[in-house]
Protein backbone atom coordinates (compact mmCIF):
# COMPACT_ATOMS: atom_id res chain seq x y z
CA UNK A 1 0.00 0.00 0.00
CA UNK A 2 1.32 3.42 -0.89
CA UNK A 3 5.12 3.59 -0.55
CA UNK A 4 5.38 0.57 1.74
CA UNK A 5 8.37 -1.65 1.01
CA UNK A 6 7.27 -4.77 -0.85
CA UNK A 7 9.04 -7.02 1.65
CA UNK A 8 7.52 -5.42 4.76
CA UNK A 9 4.41 -7.33 5.89
CA UNK A 10 1.07 -5.63 6.06
CA UNK A 11 -0.03 -6.04 9.65
CA UNK A 12 -3.74 -6.56 10.25
CA UNK A 13 -6.13 -7.16 13.12
CA UNK A 14 -9.20 -9.40 12.96
CA UNK A 15 -12.14 -8.15 15.04
CA UNK A 16 -15.39 -10.08 15.61
CA UNK A 17 -13.31 -12.72 13.89
CA UNK A 18 -15.67 -15.69 13.85
CA UNK A 19 -13.70 -18.60 12.43
CA UNK A 20 -11.35 -16.45 10.38
CA UNK A 21 -12.72 -15.58 6.94
CA UNK A 22 -10.85 -12.27 6.88
CA UNK A 23 -7.68 -13.95 8.16
CA UNK A 24 -7.82 -16.50 5.34
CA UNK A 25 -8.28 -13.76 2.75
CA UNK A 26 -5.40 -11.62 4.00
CA UNK A 27 -3.13 -14.63 4.51
CA UNK A 28 -3.73 -15.68 0.89
CA UNK A 29 -1.85 -12.55 -0.17
CA UNK A 30 1.24 -14.11 1.39
CA UNK A 31 0.72 -17.63 0.07
CA UNK A 32 0.04 -16.36 -3.47
CA UNK A 33 3.09 -14.10 -3.44
CA UNK A 34 1.04 -10.89 -3.74
CA UNK A 35 2.27 -9.21 -0.55
CA UNK A 36 3.37 -10.61 2.83
CA UNK A 37 0.84 -10.14 5.63
CA UNK A 38 0.90 -10.65 9.40
CA UNK A 39 -2.02 -10.90 11.78
CA UNK A 40 -1.07 -9.21 15.07
CA UNK A 41 -4.34 -9.22 17.05
CA UNK A 42 -7.64 -11.11 17.07
CA UNK A 43 -10.86 -10.59 18.99
CA UNK A 44 -13.67 -13.18 19.17
CA UNK A 45 -15.80 -13.79 22.26
CA UNK A 46 -17.54 -17.09 21.34
CA UNK A 47 -15.62 -19.99 22.90
CA UNK A 48 -16.55 -22.47 20.14
CA UNK A 49 -15.49 -20.11 17.36
CA UNK A 50 -12.26 -19.39 19.25
CA UNK A 51 -11.46 -23.10 19.32
CA UNK A 52 -11.98 -23.37 15.56
CA UNK A 53 -9.94 -20.23 14.91
CA UNK A 54 -6.98 -21.43 16.97
CA UNK A 55 -7.13 -24.89 15.40
CA UNK A 56 -6.71 -23.45 11.92
CA UNK A 57 -4.41 -20.46 12.37
CA UNK A 58 -2.00 -21.39 15.15
CA UNK A 59 0.41 -23.07 12.75
CA UNK A 60 1.10 -20.03 10.56
CA UNK A 61 0.35 -17.25 13.10
CA UNK A 62 1.69 -18.71 16.39
CA UNK A 63 2.51 -15.35 18.00
CA UNK A 64 -1.19 -14.45 18.29
CA UNK A 65 -1.87 -17.38 20.58
CA UNK A 66 1.11 -17.05 22.94
CA UNK A 67 0.20 -16.75 26.61
CA UNK A 68 1.53 -14.21 29.07
CA UNK A 69 4.00 -16.06 31.34
CA UNK A 70 2.57 -14.33 34.42
CA UNK A 71 -1.19 -14.17 33.82
CA UNK A 72 -1.51 -17.09 31.40
CA UNK A 73 -3.79 -14.97 29.21
CA UNK A 74 -3.65 -14.82 25.43
CA UNK A 75 -3.35 -11.04 25.22
CA UNK A 76 -3.38 -10.90 21.40
CA UNK A 77 -6.21 -13.43 21.08
CA UNK A 78 -8.80 -11.47 23.00
CA UNK A 79 -12.41 -12.16 23.87
CA UNK A 80 -14.77 -9.22 24.42
CA UNK A 81 -13.41 -6.26 22.44
CA UNK A 82 -15.25 -3.80 24.68
CA UNK A 83 -12.91 -4.84 27.51
CA UNK A 84 -9.73 -4.10 25.49
CA UNK A 85 -8.20 -0.59 25.73
CA UNK A 86 -7.51 0.47 22.11
CA UNK A 87 -4.03 1.70 23.06
CA UNK A 88 -3.05 -1.82 24.17
CA UNK A 89 -3.62 -3.28 20.70
CA UNK A 90 -0.37 -3.76 18.72
CA UNK A 91 0.23 -1.29 15.88
CA UNK A 92 -1.28 -2.44 12.58
CA UNK A 93 -1.97 -1.30 9.01
CA UNK A 94 -5.42 -2.76 8.27
CA UNK A 95 -8.44 -3.25 10.52
CA UNK A 96 -10.75 -6.09 9.48
CA UNK A 97 -14.07 -6.56 11.19
CA UNK A 98 -17.36 -8.33 10.59
CA UNK A 99 -19.17 -6.55 13.41
CA UNK A 100 -22.39 -8.22 14.62
CA UNK A 101 -25.06 -8.17 11.95
CA UNK A 102 -28.14 -9.28 13.91
CA UNK A 103 -29.36 -5.73 14.61
CA UNK A 104 -29.48 -4.96 10.88
CA UNK A 105 -30.59 -8.28 9.38
CA UNK A 106 -33.94 -9.75 8.42
CA UNK A 107 -33.43 -12.34 11.15
CA UNK A 108 -32.92 -9.76 13.88
CA UNK A 109 -35.32 -7.20 15.34
CA UNK A 110 -33.73 -4.38 13.31
CA UNK A 111 -33.04 -2.18 16.32
CA UNK A 112 -29.62 -1.36 14.94
CA UNK A 113 -27.73 1.33 16.82
CA UNK A 114 -30.41 1.27 19.53
CA UNK A 115 -29.42 -2.29 20.43
CA UNK A 116 -26.22 -2.96 22.38
CA UNK A 117 -24.73 -5.14 19.62
CA UNK A 118 -25.30 -2.34 17.14
CA UNK A 119 -23.09 0.01 19.10
CA UNK A 120 -20.09 -2.31 18.72
CA UNK A 121 -19.34 -0.36 15.55
CA UNK A 122 -18.26 2.50 17.80
CA UNK A 123 -15.64 0.25 19.41
CA UNK A 124 -14.20 -0.12 15.92
CA UNK A 125 -14.27 3.67 15.50
CA UNK A 126 -12.42 4.15 18.80
CA UNK A 127 -9.71 1.72 17.72
CA UNK A 128 -9.34 3.52 14.38
CA UNK A 129 -9.11 6.85 16.19
CA UNK A 130 -6.45 5.59 18.61
CA UNK A 131 -4.31 3.55 16.19
CA UNK A 132 -4.89 5.40 12.88
CA UNK A 133 -4.13 2.47 10.54
CA UNK A 134 -3.84 2.86 6.77
CA UNK A 135 -7.12 1.13 5.96
CA UNK A 136 -10.20 -0.73 7.19
CA UNK A 137 -12.31 -3.54 5.72
CA UNK A 138 -15.72 -3.94 7.39
CA UNK A 139 -18.44 -6.44 6.54
CA UNK A 140 -22.14 -6.74 7.35
CA UNK A 141 -25.51 -7.78 5.95
CA UNK A 142 -27.08 -5.90 3.04
CA UNK A 143 -29.94 -4.80 5.31
CA UNK A 144 -27.57 -2.24 6.82
CA UNK A 145 -27.93 -0.13 3.67
CA UNK A 146 -31.59 0.65 4.36
CA UNK A 147 -31.66 0.46 8.14
CA UNK A 148 -32.62 3.63 10.03
CA UNK A 149 -31.44 4.74 13.45
CA UNK A 150 -33.85 7.44 14.58
CA UNK A 151 -34.32 9.83 11.65
CA UNK A 152 -31.00 8.95 9.98
CA UNK A 153 -29.83 5.98 7.98
CA UNK A 154 -27.45 3.84 9.99
CA UNK A 155 -25.07 3.61 7.03
CA UNK A 156 -24.86 7.41 6.94
CA UNK A 157 -23.95 7.51 10.62
CA UNK A 158 -21.23 4.94 10.00
CA UNK A 159 -19.89 6.81 6.96
CA UNK A 160 -19.85 10.20 8.70
CA UNK A 161 -18.08 8.70 11.72
CA UNK A 162 -15.34 7.18 9.56
CA UNK A 163 -14.90 10.24 7.35
CA UNK A 164 -14.41 12.44 10.42
CA UNK A 165 -11.55 10.09 11.34
CA UNK A 166 -9.91 10.85 8.00
CA UNK A 167 -10.89 7.84 5.90
CA UNK A 168 -12.42 7.48 2.48
CA UNK A 169 -15.60 5.41 2.43
CA UNK A 170 -16.77 3.03 -0.29
CA UNK A 171 -19.58 0.49 -0.10
CA UNK A 172 -19.78 -2.70 -2.14
CA UNK A 173 -22.70 -5.14 -2.17
CA UNK A 174 -21.20 -8.48 -3.16
CA UNK A 175 -22.77 -11.88 -3.79
CA UNK A 176 -20.53 -14.88 -3.14
CA UNK A 177 -21.95 -16.62 -6.20
CA UNK A 178 -20.52 -13.88 -8.41
CA UNK A 179 -17.02 -14.89 -7.33
CA UNK A 180 -17.02 -18.63 -7.83
CA UNK A 181 -18.77 -19.88 -4.67
CA UNK A 182 -22.08 -21.82 -4.98
CA UNK A 183 -24.05 -19.69 -2.54
CA UNK A 184 -25.71 -16.31 -3.14
CA UNK A 185 -24.92 -14.88 0.31
CA UNK A 186 -25.13 -11.12 -0.40
CA UNK A 187 -22.84 -9.19 1.92
CA UNK A 188 -22.02 -5.52 2.37
CA UNK A 189 -18.36 -4.48 2.45
CA UNK A 190 -17.33 -1.03 3.71
CA UNK A 191 -13.77 -0.10 2.82
CA UNK A 192 -11.73 3.00 3.62
CA UNK A 193 -8.23 4.36 3.26
CA UNK A 194 -6.23 7.20 4.82
CA UNK A 195 -4.36 7.91 1.57
CA UNK A 196 -6.36 8.66 -1.57
CA UNK A 197 -3.73 6.98 -3.77
CA UNK A 198 -4.31 3.70 -1.92
CA UNK A 199 -8.05 4.04 -2.41
CA UNK A 200 -7.62 4.67 -6.14
CA UNK A 201 -5.22 1.74 -6.49
CA UNK A 202 -7.70 -0.52 -4.72
CA UNK A 203 -10.68 0.60 -6.83
CA UNK A 204 -8.73 0.09 -10.05
CA UNK A 205 -7.77 -3.47 -9.06
CA UNK A 206 -11.19 -4.75 -7.96
CA UNK A 207 -11.72 -8.30 -9.24
CA UNK A 208 -14.36 -8.92 -11.87
CA UNK A 209 -17.11 -11.51 -11.34
CA UNK A 210 -16.01 -15.09 -11.97
CA UNK A 211 -17.67 -18.29 -13.10
CA UNK A 212 -18.60 -20.87 -10.48
CA UNK A 213 -15.60 -22.88 -9.31
CA UNK A 214 -17.91 -25.71 -8.25
CA UNK A 215 -21.63 -26.45 -8.33
CA UNK A 216 -23.97 -27.87 -5.71
CA UNK A 217 -23.84 -31.22 -7.50
CA UNK A 218 -20.10 -31.27 -6.89
CA UNK A 219 -20.56 -30.13 -3.28
CA UNK A 220 -23.20 -32.77 -2.51
CA UNK A 221 -21.64 -35.59 -4.55
CA UNK A 222 -24.67 -36.25 -6.73
CA UNK A 223 -27.10 -34.60 -9.12
CA UNK A 224 -28.74 -31.52 -7.57
CA UNK A 225 -31.35 -29.48 -9.45
CA UNK A 226 -29.62 -26.17 -8.68
CA UNK A 227 -26.08 -25.00 -9.38
CA UNK A 228 -26.12 -22.39 -6.58
CA UNK A 229 -27.23 -23.38 -3.10
CA UNK A 230 -29.23 -21.65 -0.41
CA UNK A 231 -27.51 -19.09 1.82
CA UNK A 232 -26.37 -20.77 5.04
CA UNK A 233 -28.33 -19.55 8.06
CA UNK A 234 -28.75 -20.07 11.80
CA UNK A 235 -31.96 -21.84 12.82
CA UNK A 236 -34.56 -23.75 10.86
CA UNK A 237 -32.27 -26.72 10.31
CA UNK A 238 -33.75 -29.98 8.97
CA UNK A 239 -36.91 -28.26 7.74
CA UNK A 240 -37.07 -30.44 4.64
CA UNK A 241 -37.27 -29.55 0.96
CA UNK A 242 -41.03 -28.92 1.07
CA UNK A 243 -40.72 -26.25 3.79
CA UNK A 244 -40.48 -22.65 2.55
CA UNK A 245 -37.87 -21.98 5.26
CA UNK A 246 -35.61 -24.76 4.02
CA UNK A 247 -31.96 -23.86 3.46
CA UNK A 248 -30.00 -27.00 4.28
CA UNK A 249 -31.80 -29.87 2.55
CA UNK A 250 -31.35 -30.80 -1.11
CA UNK A 251 -32.65 -33.44 -3.48
CA UNK A 252 -29.51 -35.37 -4.40
CA UNK A 253 -30.10 -38.05 -7.03
CA UNK A 254 -33.77 -37.81 -6.08
CA UNK A 255 -33.25 -38.31 -2.33
CA UNK A 256 -33.40 -35.73 0.48
CA UNK A 257 -29.93 -35.05 1.89
CA UNK A 258 -29.16 -32.63 4.72
CA UNK A 259 -26.08 -30.44 4.28
CA UNK A 260 -23.19 -31.35 6.60
CA UNK A 261 -20.33 -29.17 7.85
CA UNK A 262 -17.80 -30.38 5.27
CA UNK A 263 -20.21 -29.40 2.50
CA UNK A 264 -20.89 -26.08 4.23
CA UNK A 265 -17.17 -25.34 4.28
CA UNK A 266 -16.99 -25.93 0.53
CA UNK A 267 -20.00 -23.67 -0.07
CA UNK A 268 -18.32 -20.91 1.93
CA UNK A 269 -15.09 -21.18 -0.03
CA UNK A 270 -12.92 -22.48 2.80
CA UNK A 271 -9.82 -24.48 1.76
CA UNK A 272 -9.91 -28.26 1.97
CA UNK A 273 -7.43 -28.32 4.87
CA UNK A 274 -9.71 -26.19 7.09
CA UNK A 275 -10.96 -28.34 9.99
CA UNK A 276 -13.25 -28.03 12.98
CA UNK A 277 -11.81 -29.31 16.29
CA UNK A 278 -13.17 -32.67 17.49
CA UNK A 279 -14.83 -30.81 20.39
CA UNK A 280 -17.11 -28.87 18.00
CA UNK A 281 -20.49 -30.52 17.39
CA UNK A 282 -22.20 -30.59 14.00
CA UNK A 283 -24.72 -28.04 15.30
CA UNK A 284 -21.98 -25.69 16.50
CA UNK A 285 -20.05 -26.07 13.24
CA UNK A 286 -23.08 -25.15 11.15
CA UNK A 287 -23.76 -22.16 13.40
CA UNK A 288 -20.19 -20.96 12.89
CA UNK A 289 -20.50 -21.33 9.12
DSSP state of 97: E
Q: What is the DSSP string of 164-199?
A: HTT---EEEEEEGGGBT-SB--EEEEEEEESSHHHH
Higher pLDDT, 219 or 154: 219
Per-residue pLDDT at 116 = 45
Per-residue pLDDT at 284 = 92
Q: Give the helix ranges, DSSP H, for 58-133.
A: 120-131
Neighbours of 7 (CB within 10 A): 7
26 within 8 A of 39, measured Cβ to Cβ: yes
Q: Which domains does the chain have, with CATH numbers?
A: 10-204 (3.40.50.150), 216-288 (no CATH)
Q: Write down the catalytic residue from 19, 94, 101, 280.
A: 101
Whether residue 39 lies in the annotated active site: no
pLDDT in tens, 155-169: 888 899 999 999 999
pLDDT in tens, 107-145: 444 565 555 455 788 889 999 999 999 999 999 988 888
Roughly how many angstroms between the first and final C-alpha of the chain, as a whole number? 31
Q: Which helix (H) or strand (E) holds 288?
A: helix 282-288
247 within 8 A of 216, measured Cβ to Cβ: no
Mean pLDDT, the chain, rounded, equals 88
Amino acid sequence: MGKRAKSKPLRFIDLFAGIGGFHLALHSNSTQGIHPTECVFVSEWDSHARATYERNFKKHSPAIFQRDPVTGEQTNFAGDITKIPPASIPDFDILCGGFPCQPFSQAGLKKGMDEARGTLFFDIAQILKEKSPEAFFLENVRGLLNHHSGDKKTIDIIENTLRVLGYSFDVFLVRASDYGVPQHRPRLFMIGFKEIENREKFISSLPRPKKLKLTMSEVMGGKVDRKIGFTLRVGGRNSGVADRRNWDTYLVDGKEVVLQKEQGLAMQGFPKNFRFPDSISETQAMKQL
